[in-house]
Each structure stands twice: as C-alpha cells, then as structure tokens.
C-alpha cells in the first residue's frame, strides 16, 4: 500500500507527529479523531519503510506478561486493536494462542501466572507432557513449565501501521513522507503563544502548536534538533538503539508449525539462559520465526545489516534444537531490525521537561508494537489534554513506572 504525500503545509497545525511507525501512526490517528485536518504526520523515509522497528508481517501480541501493569495495559490494547480493525474493515490480528515457558525455578514464569490470575486472563499451566500432547513439535525439558494463553497471536506489522495511517488520513490528517527534519525551533507567535517551526528538507517550514516525537531509534537525533529561544535543548534520554537479528528456520512439516489453524502458538522463553521468542510459520509457509532480543548497539544511520551470528549461535540455536522437533539446525534466512531500549526496557512517554507542548514516546522495543494503540492514546491525551480512563506511563517526571488513572482520550470537542 502506498500512502500519497500531502503537500499542504502552509497552515498552522494543532499538532504534528514526527515519526510514522506504530507509535506515531496510532498517535496521529487518535489526534485526528479530535482535530481532523489540523494534524500532520511526518516521516523521514517512505511510509511503511523497512529501516526501523515497525515493518514486516509478524509481531507477537499477548495478554500474559511478568509485569502486572503490562498485563493490565494489554487488555486495553486488545480493545483498541479490535476497534481499529472494525473501523477500517481490515484484519491485522491472527489469533494463534501463545505459550510462555521456562524452567520451574525461573521467577518470570511464575510472575506471568500471577499477573494472569490477578487480571483474570484465561490461561493454563501445563507440564512438558501436556505441552507436547497439544503441540507435538514442542518438547520442553522435564524441569520446565508452560503457560498457554488462547488470546495470544500475531499482528501483521506493516499492514497495521498502514491501517492507522489510512484511518488518520480519512479523518483529515496530513501525511508527509521523505521529510528529513533539519530543525525544530520553539518560538512565539503573534499572540505570544508558544509554537513549533519544524524545518524539513522537502516540505519547508511546518508550524504547529504541539509537537510529538515518536522517531524510534532516531528519537535522540530528533531531540538534538530542538532549538529553544534560549539555545539548544539539552536533554539526553537513556535510549540505546540496537540492531537485532530476526531469524527464520526451515521446518520439515509446515502444517505442524502453522498459526492459521492454531497447530502452533507464538512462544516466549523466559529461562535465564535463553531469552528467545518466535511466531508460527506465517510470513513464509515453511519457515518458523525464532530470534533473540539481544544485539549490538548501533547508530541507526550507520547500521551494517549483518546478521548477529554470536546471538544466534549462543542463544537461539541451542534453544531451537532443545525444544522444537523437525526444524533446521541453523536459520536459512535472516534480516535485521532496530530496537530502541531504555535501561529498564520500559517506555518513555511524557512531556519534555521545560518545553510546554513537546512530547516524546520511545523505548520499550520488544513489547512496544502490540502496545502501540495504547501509547497512541496516551500521547494524544497529553497533547490535547482530554482524557477518559487511561493509564499513562510517566518517566521524565517520576523516573520510575508511575501508573495514573487519567481517563481515555475522547473524540468530544
């Protein structure tokens, strides 16, 4: 799908969103529900490009998490994904069921069970024999336990991002691609109110009353371009862009690894030795997606795109051979993806300190895509100061996860 460029930039927008991955596209959509054509979404590359973190055909989505607050937030995300699908007429979610597993002495797997119980998430705790009876291609070691959740599944990433972009555009949002940002200048308008003049290489100066930065691995680079009236913004977020290798492994019997007929689940290993996750054979009929969250830190503009052989050999391959039956000893296809990590791997969603009207959503790669619509409502709610029962995660002001009942973003004027 190609989203056409909109060249109308002479007006003063109520809000401009910089970065059109899942966070930015969903933020633009929720803003456009209230502000219509007074919103713009800016992307430095083509829309739906493959250089960031929001492309491809599969992302795991699930309600089960070791962290109770994520389990709670995911209940909301499921609702928002369903509403967007209904509004667009598209299907971006495939329900496959999900299996979390680890050795019995791993705290995280017990936290998964506790969080599921607390928030009434449907789940089953299974022995290795019970897992194998349900999924014959999975053989967990005897000292492991599995947690099966029927609600888990796969989100079609690129299709989902395009869905939110099209919904935003339908509401009047202006979509501007190939717009490399040169400067974000904070100025005063003729009424003495603060505005943002965003200079890009292709669209000139775009003026907005509010600015939201959701630039993924380029978030710090975008913040470095903020020019205050008193000088350059001095803010360094604790974000580390990381190049992660996505691996595809050939399977002997594709029908036994398929997510379409629920013969194989999405899966996550919480064992301290293996931090590995994967999806059924969906993108490619005979290839299982199985990979690690680990990888080297890198500059997103200077990444080499080479596979992380060490991570594959040390983490992924041993688990693949240990747990799965009828799978190739090494991946037959690899590609790289950008992660953006905060120290605690949680999101940073807040107003930039000291800059009224400037907001940022970043971090949390590895569990950010599935939460994209919820983060979008948060950022939209911050931007227009309208809420209706939602949980916000404030990191600048609290420096720890802080759950605040503020209310859902609404469409009311």
Q: Where are the domains of the chain?
A: 12-53+158-235+346-405, 88-155+240-341
Q: Name which of 53, 15, 371, 368 is nearest 215 in CA terms.
A: 53
Q: Kindly report the average pLDDT of the chain as a whole number.
A: 89
Angle at 51 between CA 47 and CA 56, to 5 degrees: 75
Mean of pLDDT values over 115-142 = 97
pLDDT tens digit string along 129-160? Answer: 999 999 999 999 999 999 999 999 999 999 99
**Alpha carbon separation from 61 to 101, 173, 368 (Å, rounded):** 16, 27, 10
CB 73 within 8 A of CB 119: no
**What does the block give as tokens for 380?**
């939209």
- pLDDT digit string, tens, across residues 183-198: 999 998 888 888 999 9
Q: What crossing angle do the helices spanning 68-88 and 107-118 adopt, rounded to 10°? A: 60
User: pLDDT tens digit string along 307-349?
Assistant: 888 888 888 899 999 999 999 988 998 989 999 998 888 888 8
| β-pairing verdict for 358-363 and 204-213 | parallel
Q: Using alpha carbons only, how large is the chain's radius of gyration in Å?
A: 21
State the DSSP code for 312: I
Q: What is the CATH topology of the domain spanning 12-53+158-235+346-405? A: FAD/NAD(P)-binding domain (3.50.50)
Q: What digits encode the pLDDT tens for the residues 167-181?
A: 999 999 999 999 999
221-249: string of b/e by CB count within 10 Å (b at 16+)?
Answer: bbbebbbeeeeebebebebbbbbbbbbbb
CATH topology of domain 88-155+240-341: D-Amino Acid Oxidase; Chain A, domain 2 (3.30.9)
pTM of the model: 0.92
pLDDT at 411 over 90: no
DSSP state of 104: T
**Contact yes or no for 102/64 (Cβ under 8 A):** no
Fold match, 12-53+158-235+346-405 / 88-155+240-341: no
Q: Please indicate whether residue 388 or residue 289 has the higher confidence score (pLDDT).
A: 289
Res 367 pLDDT > 90: no
pLDDT of residue 388: 39
pLDDT above 80: residue 402? no
Greater confidence (21 vs 69) lies with 21
């Amino acid at each position: 799908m190609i989203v056409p460029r909109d060249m109308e930039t002479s007006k003063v927008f109520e809000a401009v969103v910089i970065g059109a991955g899942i966070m930015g596209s969903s933020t633009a959509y929720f803003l456009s529900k209230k502000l219509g054509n007074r919103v713009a979404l800016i992307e430095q590359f083509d829309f739906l490009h493959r250089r960031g973190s929001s492309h491809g055909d599969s992302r795991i989505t699930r309600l089960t998490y070791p962290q109770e607050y994520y389990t709670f937030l995911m209940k909301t995300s499921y609702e928002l994904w369903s509403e967007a699908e209904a509004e667009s007429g598209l299907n971006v979610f495939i329900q496959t069921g999900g299996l979390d597993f680890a050795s019995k002495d791993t705290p995280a797997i017990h936290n998964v069970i506790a969080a599921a119980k607390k928030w009434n998430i449907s789940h089953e705790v299974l022995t290795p024999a019970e897992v194998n009876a349900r999924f014959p291609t999975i053989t967990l070691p005897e000292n492991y336990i599995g947690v099966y959740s029927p609600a888990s599944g796969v989100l079609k990433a690129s299709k989902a991002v395009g869905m939110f972009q099209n919904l935003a555009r339908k509401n009047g949002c202006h979509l501007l691609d190939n717009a490399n940002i040169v400067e974000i200048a904070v100025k005063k308008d003729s009424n003495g109110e603060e505005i943002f003049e965003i200079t890009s290489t292709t669209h000139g100066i775009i003026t907005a009353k509010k600015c939201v930065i959701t630039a993924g691995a380029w978030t710090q680079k975008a913040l470095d371009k903020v020019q205050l009236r008193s000088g350059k913004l001095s803010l360094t977020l604790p974000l580390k862009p990381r190049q992660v290798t996505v691996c595809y492994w050939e399977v002997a019997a594709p029908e036994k690894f398929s997510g379409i007929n629920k013969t194989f689940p999405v899966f996550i290993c919480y064992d301290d030795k293996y931090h590995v996750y994967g999806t059924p054979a969906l993108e490619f009929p005979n290839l299982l997606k199985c990979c690690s969250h680990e990888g080297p830190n890198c500059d997103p503009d200077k990444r080499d795109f080479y596979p992380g052989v060490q991570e594959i050999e040390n983490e992924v391959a041993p688990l693949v051979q240990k747990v799965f039956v009828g799978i190739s000893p090494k991946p037959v296809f690899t590609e790289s993806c950008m992660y953006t990590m905060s120290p605690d791997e949680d999101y940073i969603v807040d107003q930039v300190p000291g800059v009224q009207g400037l907001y940022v959503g970043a971090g949390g790669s590895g569990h950010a895509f599935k939460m994209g619509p919820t983060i979008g409502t948060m950022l939209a709610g911050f931007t227009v100061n309208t809420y209706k029962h939602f949980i916000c995660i404030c990191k600048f002001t609290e420096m720890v996860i802080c759950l605040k009942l503020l209310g859902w973003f609404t469409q009311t004027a």
